[in-house]
Amino acid sequence: MSAVPLPISEERNCAAASLASREVPGFHIVEKQFPAGLTLSRHAHDRAHLVYGLEGSYVESYGGGRSAIYEPGLLRYLPRGLEHANVFENGARCLIVSIDGALLDRIAGNTRTLDRAIEIRSIASNWLAQRLHSEFRRNDPFSPVSLEGILLEILAEGARDSGAFHPAMTVPRWLRMARDYMEANFLRNLRLSEIARVAGVHRVHLAREFRRHFSVTVGEFLRQKRVEHACRLVSTTRDPLADVALACGFSDQSHFCATFRHHIGLTPGRFREMAQSR
């Protein structure tokens, strides 16, 4: 991952330990451990990157004092040439994918979305990122083909502008508190007024700002979290689908299956077959 106009010093670059790496056509994948206290001064890369947080968190800042906090489970895309700096106060472990310029140019020919930083937040991308890390660790003779396919799907999700994020739009602390509260309580029947009270804002302001920053409504976000939870249960257990539906807060199996298929494109049964056959 070479850098342009504003390079990182060799000493600082070596401070991040590469735990494992893979090469597939068009992509270089590396799992990196960033130690606590590491600071990377302002720099840019000559390749675009996908970054998937595995452990810990870090702050990334841009020009004009703008910054964002990145935590585990977040999949983000960083375009080539974007100047940024990083602070790993408590350390972090990330899966980092650098993308070949020629491949990116072919994809970018049909969209301008990949010209800016984005957070890829769809349910499909969440599942794909988990599959990416699992396949990366597996590393058998079939992994290169699987990794290439997964990464192309992730870029397609990013090109659809799902969960667009602009560095200038830093998420306010109160809004992060609201999102964290929803992520911790999504299986409950939350009311907008309850979430707003936790964040300390009016429910109308919460609803408007949540959609502006995350490109989904509060209700859609909670529904997505339930479907993500259902994906984990369907793929890792043999619990009856009726039990999974109830465990994920759906009123009945029929409603669950319809919602699951709408978001994933597969029935829960077919999704289970594909996931567990791997």
pLDDT tens digits along 157-189: 777 654 444 444 567 889 989 999 999 999 999
Question: Residues with Cβ < 8 Å from 149, sequence gap 6 or more?
Answer: none
For residue 12, the model assigns a pLDDT of: 44
For residue 129, the model assigns a pLDDT of: 87
For residue 111, the model assigns a pLDDT of: 61
For residue 112, the model assigns a pLDDT of: 63
- AA letter at 43: H
Q: Are 155 and 107 in contact (CB under 8 A)?
A: yes
Distances (CA, A) of 269 to 122, 161, 165, 189: 21, 29, 34, 26
Q: Summarize pLDDT for 60-87 with one digit per residue, the tens.
A: 888 766 777 888 888 888 888 888 899 9
For residue 72, the model assigns a pLDDT of: 86
For residue 2, is pLDDT > 60?
Answer: no
Q: Which two tokens stand for residue 72?
A: 């585990």
- Give the residues across from 55 on adjacent strands: 93
Stated as kind and residue range, the H or E segment containing 175 is: helix 173-185
For residue 239, the model assigns a pLDDT of: 93
More confident residue, 240 or 108: 240
More confident residue, 10 or 275: 275
Stated as kind and residue range, the H or E segment containing 257 is: helix 253-264
Q: Which domains does the chain have, with CATH numbers?
A: 3-159 (2.60.120.10), 173-277 (1.10.10.60)
- Mean predicted confidence (pLDDT) in 135-155: 86
For residue 8, the model assigns a pLDDT of: 38
Cα(115)–Cα(175) distance, integer angstroms: 26
pLDDT band at 217 (very low <50, low <70, confident <90, very high): confident
Q: Are 94 and 51 in contact (CB under 8 A)?
A: yes
